[in-house]
Amino acid sequence: MRPSRRLVGVVAAIGLAAITLAACSSNSSSSSTTSSGGSTTGSVRTGGTLTMGLDENLAGFNINTSAASEYVLQEILDQVWPQPFIVNAALKPVLNTQLITSATSGGSPQAVTYVINPKAAWQDGTPITADDFIYNWQAQSGNSAYTDIGGATYDAASSSGYNQIATVTGSNPTGGAACDPGSAADRNVGMCPNGRTVTVKYTTPFADWQSLFGNLVPAHIARTVGWNTGFSSPAQAISGSWYEIQSYTANQSVVLVRNPSYWGTPGKLDKIVFQFFSDDTQEVPALQNNEVQLINPATVNTAITQSAAQVPNTTKVTVPGLEFEHLDFNEADPYLAKLPVRQAIAYGTNRQEIISHTVGEVASGIVPLGNRMFVASQPQYVNNGSQYVSVNPSKAESLLSGLGFKKASDGYFQPNYGPQSGQDLTFTIQSTSGNSTRAQTEQLFQAQMKAIGIKINIQNYDANTFFGTNLPNGTYQIAEFAWVSTPFPSGNQSIYCSYTSSSCGQNWLHYANPAEDKLLAAGSSATSASQETTDFNQADKLLWNDMATLPLYQKPQYFAWSNKYGNVIPNASTTGVPWNANLWGLKAS
């Protein structure tokens, strides 16, 4: 049985929050680029229905809360709530010009100006204005001055970025002074409800400003029903985009239909249906039965790909995903604290073999990952770990001998200090239970470590215990799990900055290096995207020198859809494949 194996859902609760939605590589600060659709693959006609499979249930519709922030919800809301920037298939954030005619960032202190399309309005007629931006900022700012209805604390999945905003103001349509939200009283009636130009001023520069305001929550609704728990049904999740939610049956399906009040180019399909599967392996038989026409299962293994391969008249595509598996080393351990030990493990790990025995069977071209900040399919990727690409057992052994460890008759090294002195050097590797790929990776790792003289025990825990207790409390030695990379690398800061600093809450490695801190801080506050990329790549190089963690490989994403439909373009970012669902349609011919 598999309770939801959405690794992304588990990890991305951490990784996703590091970068809200719209994940992609930012490559220019001003982003008035092309249309929001991306390339089309042929003409399609208007009309028809497409059903897509999803494998996680919803816990509410406000994706910006910690309770409801899920991958699958993002895919549903892609077409329902307004998104200023949409991440396209090339992992670039592209301005949604149908919503925002321009968005520019500049000046010092940093100020971003959004110009909202004058025709943009929610489906109940209320225009989309600065009011929405101001409300969304206040709710996610983490500032206790702002509270939800009834005085409740705002439940925000992530305040990063928002907590660096000083003010958000809206233009005054009569041309006078800019409208400032001002006092709390204004919040009840609407703040700058007529402002079509929004100015966001930052206290300290935030390089990933394009990641903010990703899914705009309708302010006028949130004020009445409440941000935390008010969005429990489609009646509150009104549309400000191409499609609206027609119906929602808990644990069954969400049905989207065209939003008749949409002001821009309407979507092609009449209906988009999302069907929930409790088990993502059910999605392939459903595709075969034509119960769904598009699937993107979370588990990608040979069972799924081979059974999907037998389904006729479908297109199957494997796309490098943004999620990557890696090994964490806990430097609080007296042996892992030593750099040569970590390097020995890195030299002894045959990542190519791990790949070929696991994900390599479902996707070709997966290589050992050489960077922690960016994955291989991102344009910013630089391979900083080339010396570790091929396994080097002799070098690993010489590193251990160099420390004074002696190889015993059973083939294992024995350290000459510490609690394991005189015994076989043993480490325990932990991961989440119920994941066969991880279990297999651990087995391979165990065999590879045995070859260089290190004993490995395998111990897995359920996700709650693993992520909630063992990692944060440091009760582990080696851990295997996945991070989700994004186009906005500033989220990496809290993982690798020195654990001694209180703001580094996600550094579970017990790793500290002031030089690293400098590079990470420089990158997060860089004023240009290219500067940010350079800084973070430098930071990654240093991490390779320090061997803080060992990236393994980038996980592939698998998409399969019926050939009757056109313009389906796989998108590995958290936006998901419905990023351009407004262009999906039945093929004309």
Touching another protein, residues 143-172 (CB under 8 A): 144, 152-160
Contact letters (x/-) for another protein, 177-216, by CB under 8 A?
A: ----------------------------------------
Instruction: Please report, as a single letter, which amino acid is at residue 480.
Output: E
According to CB under 8 A, which residues from 410 to 439 bind another protein?
Answer: 433-434, 436, 439
If you search the block for the tokens 């400000």, which residue do you land on?
240
As a whole number of angstroms, the distance between CA 291 and CA 279 comes to 15
The residue within the footprint of another protein, chosen from 26, 96, 241, 275 (CB under 8 A), is: 275
The residue within the footprint of another protein, chosen from 117, 211, 228, 380 (CB under 8 A), is: 228
Stretch that binds another protein, among 75-83, 164-172, 271-279, 337-345 (CB under 8 A): 271-279
- Cβ neighbours for 153, distance < 8 A, ≥ 6 positions apart: 144, 147
Question: By CB under 8 A, is residue 253 in contact with another protein?
Answer: yes
Stretch that binds another protein, among 30-38, 205-213, 301-309, 573-581 (CB under 8 A): 301-309
Question: By CB under 8 A, is residue 289 in contact with another protein?
Answer: yes
Q: In whole angstroms, how far apart are CA 555 and each of 137, 320, 357, 358, 359? A: 33, 6, 13, 10, 7
The residue within the footprint of another protein, chosen from 273, 295, 341, 478 (CB under 8 A), is: 273
Burial class (CB in 10 A: 0-12, 13-18, 19+), 177: exposed
As a whole number of angstroms, the distance between CA 321 and CA 343 comes to 27
The residue within the footprint of another protein, chosen from 458, 498, 531, 534 (CB under 8 A), is: 458
CB of 206 to another protein, least distance (A): 14
Number of H helices, E strands in the chain: 16, 21
CA 223 to chain centre: 28
As a whole number of angstroms, the distance between CA 106 and CA 509 comes to 36
CB of 203 to another protein, least distance (A): 17
**Torsion angle, CA of 305/307/312/316, rounded to 10 degrees?**
-10
As a whole number of angstroms, the distance between CA 398 and CA 525 comes to 41
Question: Is 494 within 8 Å of 503 (Cβ atoms)?
Answer: yes
Closer Cβ to another protein, 414 or 465, answer by number: 465
CB of 396 to another protein, least distance (A): 19
Per-residue b/e over 424-446, b at no fewer than 16 CB within 10 Å?
ebebebbbbeebebbeebbebbb
What single string gives the DSSP state of each residue in 393-405?
HHHHHHHHHHTT-
Question: By CB under 8 A, is residue 18 in contact with another protein?
Answer: yes
CB of 207 to another protein, least distance (A): 16
Closer Cβ to another protein, 20 or 575, answer by number: 20
Closer Cβ to another protein, 285 or 422, answer by number: 285
The residue within the footprint of another protein, chosen from 33, 104, 172, 282 (CB under 8 A), is: 282
Closer Cβ to another protein, 106 or 505, answer by number: 505
Instruction: Please report, as a single letter, which amino acid is at residue 578.
Output: P
As a whole number of angstroms, the distance between CA 170 and CA 179 comes to 5
According to CB under 8 A, which residues from 309 to 368 bind another protein?
Answer: 310, 357-358, 361
Cβ atoms within 10 Å, residue 520? 28
CB of 112 to another protein, least distance (A): 21
Number of residues in contact with another protein under rule CB under 8 A = 86
Closer Cβ to another protein, 3 or 418, answer by number: 3
Question: By CB under 8 A, is residue 440 in contact with another protein?
Answer: yes
Stretch that binds another protein, among 22-30, 209-217, 250-258, 581-589 (CB under 8 A): 250-258
CB of 192 to another protein, least distance (A): 25
Give the residue from 432, 514, 419, 418 showing the smallest Cα distance to 471: 432
Closer Cβ to another protein, 29 or 430, answer by number: 430
The residue within the footprint of another protein, chosen from 506, 525, 538, 580 (CB under 8 A), is: 506
Question: By CB under 8 A, is residue 237 in contact with another protein?
Answer: no
As a whole number of angstroms, the distance between CA 70 and CA 60 comes to 10
Closer Cβ to another protein, 25 or 358, answer by number: 358
Stretch that binds another protein, among 97-105, 224-232, 341-349, 368-376 (CB under 8 A): 224-232
The DSSP code for 213 is S
Closer Cβ to another protein, 3 or 109, answer by number: 3
According to CB under 8 A, which residues from 511 to 570 bind another protein?
Answer: none
Q: In whole angstroms, how far apart are CA 542 and each of 99, 130, 376, 387? A: 41, 42, 18, 14
As a whole number of angstroms, the distance between CA 95 and CA 35 comes to 7
According to CB under 8 A, which residues from 60 to 119 bind another protein?
Answer: 60, 66-68
Cβ atoms within 10 Å, residue 207? 27
The residue within the footprint of another protein, chosen from 301, 383, 498, 545 (CB under 8 A), is: 301
Give the residue from 556, 553, 555 showing the smallest Cα distance to 389: 553
The residue within the footprint of another protein, chosen from 102, 194, 199, 443 (CB under 8 A), is: 443
According to CB under 8 A, which residues from 32 to 51 bind another protein?
Answer: 49, 51
CB of 540 to another protein, least distance (A): 21
As a whole number of angstroms, the distance between CA 297 and CA 310 comes to 16
Question: Is 510 within 8 Å of 478 (Cβ atoms)?
Answer: no
Give the residue from 226, 183, 213 showing the smallest Cα distance to 95: 213
Cβ atoms within 10 Å, residue 507? 19
Query: Residue 68 corresponds to which tokens in the numbers above?
Result: 């409801």
Closer Cβ to another protein, 103 or 495, answer by number: 495
Question: By CB under 8 A, is residue 303 in contact with another protein?
Answer: yes
CB of 67 to another protein, least distance (A): 5
The residue within the footprint of another protein, chosen from 30, 34, 39, 302 (CB under 8 A), is: 302
